[in-house]
Chain A
Amino acid sequence: MQFGLSESQEFLKDSARKFFVGECPSAEMRRLMETETAYDAALWSKLTDQGYTGIIYAEEYDGVGLGKVELMLLMEEAGRALLPGPFFSTVVLAGSVLDAVGSPAHKKKFLTPICRGEARATVAILETSASWNLRDVQLTAAHGKLTGEKLFVSDAGVADFILVVARNGVFIVDAKAKGLKISPMLGMDLTRKLYAVEFKDTPAEHLGPTTNLPRTFDIASAALAAELVGGMQRTLDLTVEYAKTRKQFGKPIGMFQAVQHQCADMYLETESSRSAVYYAGWALEESAPDASTAVSIAKMYASDAARTVGNRGIQIHGGMGFTWENDLHLYYRRAKASENAFGDATFHRERIASLVIDAPGVTERSA
């Protein structure tokens, strides 16, 4: 039994970190967040060259065929750099829905271009109820057409096609389709844009049933939790650095226990989130019997931890932490958006309760 990363996993994580530091430093991230879609074609083609756009998909669709633990590592590093744009929406979300729901023909047609870096995509899930419970989806396709509205659709403004979750299945809609209206929603996270998507007799192709969606939501939840871990690590690093250099009363503020102990708690929360995320990645990869519980544990814990780590980081930075020019608030904004996406901690605690309290035995351990 070995919980540590293998040599090739270490290599992937390390090279991803170097890649993002080089290609998406803070200044570039800030430049992109000020643009309309936060998408940059040049950066996208570099992501593609690294194989990141096809990381977990089969080679027959021009993917790289790596596992979920590797995906967690990549997302952790992307989160550390606060990678702007539609990477999560396209690669993690739309990619895994296509992979789990689509036929081989669909995958050839839609997943292959994603892996090749030729297409951007997203998945439209939430409606006015803003409920992450699939039972609450109302939109229904009729005669190959959709009429209704989806909200909080990430990166729809730059998508070539949108996968739409409806009561009677998952549908695929071309971004240029008739009767499709995409308008921005002003979300807190400036690096991942949200949109309202309206359908009016919009032609939609049936991709498959919704049966396999929960597993794709698990992958998305774990990937977001991994991003949060990267964001927490960056917040912790910036804060510790600041606490070492900022002086008050003639001493570095990190010498004061009121500050130092908060840093220790940030470390505990970051590392514990990381453990939970790596385990979730492993459990997903192995289709372990406790995979869903593991994902909820990771998403629950990381959602709460990212917020408290952000709170502490901003507090320790004092006035500097409250300024626009400091990056902390950008991570803090992402943390809030990701906390809510695919269910916040309360949502996942209830899911854990239903798995652990209501159905004991289901969560039999895999390791």
Chain B
Amino acid sequence: MDLKLTPEESSFRDELRAWLAKNAPKDWAEWREKPLEESFPYLRAWQRKLHDGGWAAVSWPKEYGGRSATLMQQSLFWEEMARVEAPPMANSLGLGLIGPTIVACGTEAQKKRFIPKILSAEEIWCQGFSEPNAGSDLAGLQTEAKLDGDHYIVNGQKVWTSYGWVGDWCELIVRTDSSAAKHKGLTAFLVDMKSPGVEVRPLRQMTGESEFNELFFRDVRVPAENILGKVNDGWNVAMSTLMYERGSYGARLQLTFNRYISRLIELARSVQRNGRPASEDPLIRQKLAQCSAEIEIMRFNQMRAFSRISATGVPGPEGSIQKIFWSELNQRLQQIAQELLGSYGQLLGGDPHAVDNGLWSYGYLRTRGNTIEAGTSEVQRNIIGHFVLGLPRSY
């Protein structure tokens, strides 16, 4: 066990830090609160800049435009990005989930065709997995594809699709064999969102925004060459994508959470409670300490998980404790913010009395989604129960 940076890690960090100091935009704070539709060109330009500097996909193999960065270097990458409060990249699903899946499961032709434009943000990717009747039970999905010559014809509906409204391409999981067992009749396709028959509708969520979309497919023709992986092996392709999702997301949240807790501590000093600053109130102190300790533990868990993955190459089911940990912690953190702010906590952005322009009322509502998206807490506990602890499958 040695938590000091190796010379390679130090030089990676120093190079990145120098690059960010020169290139990271200074005006992100002005854009952050705007609707994604408005800020998207800004994020696209930022990703292109990172790509030009060779920083868009550090985890990817060098031959595909990455830096073959180790997990520790990836972790440093997100730390440094968060340290300078850099904006996210436009093509975050393409870079984080779908690109790596194409690299792992795709043909050479697919890699050549898709990878460069994922990196440059020329083509934005979305993910067509969940359906109205297939959420946690993803393998029960009903969207189907039927072979017709050298094409497949796709019919069905997807839901909770991030970036659907701006997506050029979609990693779509569909049923290709309805007679097979439900996990075995699925196939992953790379679908052009401009194909005739694709319709995208916004899905308004409880925060009032529309981060997600519903996708409708009516007789959409997809060339057979756009199958990702093998026919009827879509479950494994989807699982490999979801592993990336569950494994990498927590790493990026680390410093966001640290920024939140620092701000809460600052607020606690300025808010009065029983005639003294809330930061001197024993109960508030207990809660802030618990929260800040858990943020650290999330970091330790992440470092440990990364060290473990480094040995095997792929994220394992241990990622599930991270998903539960950060999502539930984020909800507790938001509740502490509400307790600190009292009546002010409910004020939405735009109200002149709102604290931090409504960041905390938004966060309170938005974090309810954290324990649902990317695999519900219940599914994560099933995964730990069955795959980690070896208990019999409960479903």
Which residues of A are interface residues toward B (Cβ below 8 A)?
Answer: 1-6, 9, 69, 240, 243-244, 251-252, 254-257, 260-261, 263-265, 267-268, 271-272, 274-276, 278-279, 282, 286, 293-294, 296-297, 300-301, 346, 349-350, 352-353, 356-358, 360, 366-367
Contact = CB atoms under 8 A, between A and B. Distances in A.
Nearest to B265: A357
B42 interface: no
A5 B386 CA distance: 26
Contact of A1 (B2, B381, B394): B2
A349 B3 CA distance: 25
B388 A2 contact: no
Given A275-B303, A276-B296, A367-B4, 19 more contacts: A4-B307, A6-B2, A240-B390, A244-B390, A244-B392, A255-B393, A261-B381, A264-B381, A264-B384, A268-B321, A271-B304, A274-B304, A278-B304, A279-B296, A282-B3, A297-B297, A301-B294, A350-B289, A356-B289
A4 B3 contact: no
Q: Is the interface of A mostly helix, strand, loop or mixed?
A: helix
A2 B389 contact: no
Contact of A346 (B286, B378, B382, B392): B286
B282 interface: yes
Contact of A240 (B2, B381, B389, B395): B389
Contacts of A300: 289-290, 293
B181 interface: no
Interface residues of B, number: 51
Contact of A275 (B285, B289, B300, B393): B300
B36 interface: no
B16 to A, nearest CB: 15
B308 interface: yes
Contacts, number: 161
A196 B282 CA distance: 32
Nearest to A69: B1
Contact of B286 (A256, A275, A301, A349): A349
Interface string B1-38: 11111100100000000000000000000000000000
A342 to B, nearest CB: 16
Contact of A2 (B288, B296, B307, B318): B307
B362 interface: no
Given A267-B388, A268-B324, A352-B293, A3 B4 contact: no
